[in-house]
Structure 1
Amino acid sequence: MLYSLLRPLLFRLDPEQAHEVSLNGLRFCNNYGLDALFGSRPAPLPIEVMGMTFPNPVGIGAGLDKNGEYIDALAGLGFGFIEVGTVTPKPQAGNDKPRLFRFPGADAIINRMGFNNHGVDALLENLKKTRYRGILGINIGKNATTPIEAAVDDYLICMNKVYPYASYITINISSPNTKGLRDLQNEAALSVLLSQLKMRQLELADQTGRYVPLVVKIAPDLTTEAIAGIAKLFIEHRIDGVIATNTTLSRDGLMHLPGAEQQGGMSGAPLNSKSTLVIRELALQLEGAVPIIGVGGITRGGDAWEKIDAGASLVQIYSGLIFRGPVLVNECVEAARPFLAELEAKRQQQRALWQHARAEAEAARLAAEAQAAAEAEKAKQQTSS
């Protein structure tokens, strides 16, 4: 009710200004115990994904709170998990303003923010102050000035620093607003990147005694062939999760409105079906091997359920929160409640079967290699004698 009254006032402001006013208002209410003004928190709907138990399957996507300044306020809305970032090694201002555009007639947004953030060290200082002890994803990227061939260095810098604070770490290779970033989704480049990040993840897990899952966020503008190749690499490199999807370069569903020609990534309702199709194809290719977090165009509870039904275990909202307000969180949880437990139980069983099959295949491969080595040694001895 409160947000429906405030929305007309917020929409009179510049979008970035409205963003800051909204978040500061949420923080004020949270500080004074007034979260209930934005609606009741959803009843628990726990789900286990990536070895963690999420209080409910609905999270807030990266981009809303890039610097981790509003985590406690967002937690007061009842999210099952929170993702902050995208954060880069060094602070950067992002692209020139104006860079954020609302389209209320289509429940859509175009942004070309460009990873504007205060840098990873500032994020860490904010994380030290938060009271939140729930599941926290940290989304990391590269600085705009870092050449694409050196991108892995930026990801490793961020990964090393955020590892102690993260429940999971998201590798953002799909924003359309950093030049060349999406080139990292090409199979050859992606394989090199994932290999180095996975190696470092295992080293950090060994050093700290704590395994932090690695998640990759992909674009909605991939071909079916590209999705198949990416899925193969995720399985090969044992990536822990995938977020599908980021914003789109398409303007389908928006071209009838003035301003649709603005450069940047589009999110909101027109992205919904495109994102869901990517999730469905990704789930088909992954065959339960890697859990999916679905995001893109969720503006009602039914949208969240469609993504879960397509193959997602969790969902995230962002643009829908701007147009619908905090009531959307509870709506999405309730839409999933009647079906989630049974569906996820089937997926867990499928994942266990896949892991068993993979373990058997790996054991068979090692046995074959050992046998081949023994036969080669025997042949060598026979030759020398």
Structure 2
Amino acid sequence: MGIGAGVDKDGLLMGLMANLPVGFHTIGSVTLRPRRGNPRPRMRRYPGLKAMVNAMGLPSRGFWFIREVLNGECPRWPRGKLLGISLAGFSEVEFKIMLDSLTPYLGCVDFIEINVSSPTYGGSWAEPRRLGNLLKLLKRHDKVVVKVPLLPNVNDEVKVLKTIINHNPLGLTIANTIMVKSDLPVGYGGVSGAPLLKIVTRLIKLTRGMGYGGLIIGLGGFMSGGDVLRGLEAGADLVGMVTAFAMEGPLSVYRVVNELRKLITQRQLNTLNNPRRDSWQLFPIPDPGGKLS
């Protein structure tokens, strides 16, 4: 369980995340050049639904700022805690420049997420031919994780998944927000939080059913310890939180970790009491004190 892209846009929370009981942290999404993002307000919270609608517009201090952050923070980043960087680009050239420029940092960065699913793109990267051309360019980079868009049509979703899987990336992040009309200034926004859980877990199962055996990072709707277990059971290897952290801050991490501990302890007891049950393969669960056990 860790933190997905969207919480720490510019890497300024690396010090905090190094000390929280999370297994991974994803910086970004970062763009090559600085971007101001959409006009404010660009977010609506719906606490009763455990959901948010946002139209951030990919605000970023820019890739070269992130490189300076990595220069300072990488030597202090804990071993055993995964670090990812999510890249957003509007052209193949932008992605290539950022990927090539990350080469000196691959001893610190464990995976590079390619965000082709942001609502800011207006769906331009979902076109299979354009996406395929980008993925061909990325093939020589062995730490690439592709962020899968959530599309309204399941047939379109399957086409995009097939295109990505055929290029055999290290992993997939499943998934991003769902676009809806909104009273935000730009007129639209992406839904995140609890309403996405069923959709995301079904998409993870679908991807495994298509024969994909690589890394899957589940992202979208994971608000509790029970939600995290559902993501793992669906076939995810890692599960990221974004909306829960945005709404509750660091306390969300401790809450979810404690819920996970209780749930897994109960499953272990149930297995002991009924040996014929399928046993649960215990994942390393972070101790709330900050140590991995």
**If the length of structure 1 is used for normalisation, what is the TM-score?**
0.62
- 2:17 is aligned to 74
1:326 aligns with 2:266: no
| Partner SS, residue 90 of structure 1 | coil
Which secondary structure state, in structure 2, belongs to the residue aligned with residue 64 of structure 1? Answer: strand
1:9-24 to 2 correspondences below 5 Å: none
Aligned partner of 2:77 in structure 1 is: 132
Q: Return the offset for 1:110.
A: 1.1
Is the 8 Å Cα contact of residues 84 and 110 (structure 2) preserved in structure 1?
A: yes
Give me the whole-angstrom Cα distance separating, in 1, the residues matched to 2:24 and 2:283: 20
1:164 paired residue among 104, 120, 128: 104
Flag the structure with more relative contact order, 1 or 2, with Cα contacts below 8 A and sequence separation at least 6. 2
Q: Give the secondary structure class of the aligned counterpart of 2:7.
A: coil
Change (3 A) 1:172 1:336: farther
Unaligned runs of 5+ in 1: 1-57, 202-211, 345-385
Q: Is the 8 A contact 1:78 1:329 kept in 2?
A: no
Q: Tell me, what secondary structure is at the counterpart of 1:233?
A: helix
175, 198, 213: which one aligns with 2:118: 175
Deviations 1:78-104 (A, max 9, x none): 110110011111111111111121111
Indicate how the Cα distance of structure 1 residues 61 and 102 shifts in structure 2: closer, same or farther if over 3 A, else same.
same
Return the offset for 1:298: 1.0
CA distance 1:95–1:300, shift in 2 (3 Å): same
8 Å contact 2:4–2:241 — kept in the other structure?
Answer: yes
One-letter code aligned to 1:157: I
- Unpaired stretches in structure 2, ≥5 consecutive residues: 268-278, 285-293
Q: Deviations over 1:319-370 (max 9, x none)?
A: 11234523244146434675663799xxxxxxxxxxxxxxxxxxxxxxxxxx
Rg larger for: 1
Instruction: Please tell me the residue identity of whatever aligns with 1:198.
Output: K
Q: Which has the larger displacement, 223-232 or 164-173?
A: 223-232
Cα distance, 1:317–1:340 mapped onto 2, change above 3 Å: farther
1:161, CA displacement in angstroms? 1.8
Distance, in Å, in 1 between the alignment partners of 2:83 and 2:65 is: 16
Partner SS, residue 95 of structure 1: coil
* CA 1:332–1:189: 2 relative to 1, 3 Å: farther
- Confirm or deny: 8 A CA contact 1:184 1:190 kept in the other structure: yes
- 2:164 paired with 1:221: no
Write 1 or 2 for the structure with the bigger share of strand. 2
Identify the match of residue 230 of structure 1 among 152, 160, 163: 160
Q: Secondary structure at the match of 1:63?
A: strand
Residues 294-305 of structure 1: pairs in structure 2 closer than 5 A: 294-305=218-229
| Partner SS for 2:17 | helix
Q: Which ranges of 4 or more aligned residues in structure 1 deviate by more than 4 Å?
A: 335-340
CA offsets, 1:177-227, max 9 Å, x none?
x133x321222111111001113x2xxxxxxxxxx5110001222533233
1:277-356 equivalences in 2 (<5 Å): 277-285=202-210, 287-324=211-248, 325-331=252-258, 333-334=260-261, 335=263, 341=281
**Structure (1 or 2) with the greater helix fraction:** 1
Aligned match of 1:192: 133
The percent of aligned pairs where both chains have the same amino acid is 32
Report Cα offsets for 1:265-309 as digits up to 9, x if no partner: 111111211222221212211x24222111111111111111111
The one-letter amino acid paired with 1:192 is N
Instruction: Say if 1:288 and 1:269 are closer, same or farther in 2 by CA, change over 3 A.
Output: same
Label 1:302 to 1:111 Cα distance change in 2 as closer, same or farther (>3 A): same
Within 2, Cα distance between the matches of 1:276 and 1:331?
A: 22
CA contact (8 A) 1:293 1:315 kept: yes
Residues 340 and 162 of structure 1: CA distance in aligned 2, closer, same or farther (over 3 Å): farther
The letter for the 2-side match of 1:297 is G
